[in-house]
Structure 1
């Protein structure tokens, strides 16, 4: 089984729409403080716009693991 990890950082736009930015294969020893710093930098530097709209606030951050099992269906 192949396990993949993704860091998902969620923000709200000025109109209240929730958007997420994901990063594949985050470092194993990534800290909550580092994630908050990165998210605050994204917010303060106005790095991303969603449909021309600025990000307004932090919502959440999480690391999601997914497992994939492939099956050989050739008969």
Structure 2
């Protein structure tokens, strides 16, 4: 599973993160930046008691899930 983690700061200086699960394998840095700009401009989130004020960064986290077969 791949998750996009977008980090922002609110107008109070507090960190705020928006996570998007199951992103495309071919998502580009430009698409991520455009998405973050749209989040910043839309002001639709209550970001830890304030409005999102700035973009901090983004990362993609990859998680491997392996089922373990337990003995009977």
Do Structure 1 and Structure 2 share a fold, with TM-score over 0.5? yes
Provide the rounded CA distance (Å) in 1 between the counterparts of 2:48 and 2:15.
13
What is the deviation of 1:68?
2.1
Is the strand fraction higher in 1 or 2? Answer: 1
Matched, 1:19 2:16: yes
* Structure 1 match to 2:68: 71
Gaps of 5+ in 1: none
The total of aligned residue pairs comes to 72
Matched, 1:34 2:36: no
For each residue in 1:8-59, what CA deviation from the matched residue of structure 2 results, as whole angstroms up to 9, or x when unmatched? 1010011111111111111111111111011011101112122441000001
Provide the rounded CA distance (Å) in 1 between the counterparts of 2:16 and 2:49.
13
Gaps of 5+ in 2: none
Provide the rounded CA distance (Å) in 2 between the counterparts of 1:50 and 1:41.
15
Matched, 1:57 2:54: yes
State TM-score, norm by structure 1: 0.84
